[in-house]
Amino acid sequence: MKTAIALLLAAFISPGWAQILNKDSLHFKADGTKVRGSFILVNRAVPLPEGEFTLITADFRDSRMSSGNIRLVPHRMVTVVLGQMADGKLRTAVTATTVLTYHGNTGWVVEPCKADKVVLFRRGSVPFMKRSYEQNCLVVNRVARGLGPNATGVFELLRDWTKKEGGEVPIEMRLDATVTRIAQAEYLMVNYFFNPAAYGCDAANLQSEAFANGVIELGKALQMAVDAGFDGRDRVEKVERLEAGLPRLQQDCGRAVQAVAPAPRPKAGSAADRLKELDSLRGQGLISPAEYDERRRKILDSL
């Protein structure tokens, strides 16, 4: 698996506990299930880019954990892999990993938001340490020659599905927008994979800066939606509200990102709830002060 392996911070073990499983979790669905807009994984709501995706598989594994010379009981993890084809090419893929059963009493040692590597774009946003360990970040980077003969884990599964669907592999260039959300024992990593060749980029333009900027802007919106679906009540409703405004990459090598027209405002949520959610977005740095003032005024005007 590509996802970083987790280690416990402490040697003390508490009895394992399982996440509350939503009956609509995608890992319960059959391979080949079609998904659009968003999906549930265990009990998280995970947003999708534009278009219809196919569930390729759900993959289960145990993490490797140790503290000093003590080998600890592993966490049980689940990853779902989804793909989207267009004109004989893998256009977009999504992998999402979360924890099914957690063993331990502290949190995760991995720090994907602080990885020391060259990236196109990185943004971390944790307003304050609500719990003992928390991360929330977006990392965007280019990867050359992906899904080739040396692919392993979920990328091997994605490669084989792409070949089965008649797509070309390896992918000469891809852009990954990875969103990680961790809060002590809670863990979610979502990788959004975009193939510029399937968005109209030619062989000489696979490193288009315009396309990269488009993925970055879409990644920012997806990070906000992942965060909304990670924590708190009404996760699904929050993600659905954000889905309507997700940007989309244009087919002319992503030279622009055009926002989809917002859906009609839902009835749910009192003014107090909306103001509280708006304060949270400001605290995380996900909206500018000007956007905050404008949205707050509109909420108050609606009273």
Q: pLDDT (tens digit, 9 = 90+) per residue, 198-246? A: 999 999 999 999 999 999 999 999 999 999 999 877 899 999 999 888 9
pLDDT of residue 91: 97
pLDDT of residue 72: 64
Q: How many residues does the chain have?
A: 303
pLDDT of residue 259: 65
pLDDT of residue 270: 72
pLDDT of residue 174: 96
Q: Which residue has the tokens 């979790």?
A: 25
**Half-sphere exposure of residue 21: CA atoms within 13 angstroms, side-chain side:** 11
Domain locations along the chain? 17-262, 269-303
With contact defined as beta carbons under 8 Å apart, do 8 and 106 qualify? yes
Per DSSP, the three-state class of 87 is coil
pLDDT of residue 181: 93
- Listed as ranges, residues in the chain with pLDDT below 50 are 1-15, 262-263, 265-268
pLDDT of residue 273: 79
pLDDT of residue 166: 96
pLDDT of residue 104: 66
Cβ atoms within 10 Å of 259's Cβ, excluding its own:
12
Per DSSP, the three-state class of 176 is strand
Q: pLDDT (tens digit, 9 = 90+) per residue, 161-197? A: 999 999 999 999 999 999 999 887 789 999 999 999 9
Tokens standing for 153?
């884990």
Nearest to 162 by CA among 91, 263, 252, 58: 91
Instruction: List phi, psi (to 5°) of 54.
Output: -110, 130
CA distances for 173 relative to 89, 164, 252, angstroms? 12, 20, 16
With contact defined as beta carbons under 8 Å apart, do 53 and 34 qualify? yes
| pTM for this prediction | 0.78
Question: Running DSSP on this structure, what letter comes out for residue 106?
Answer: S
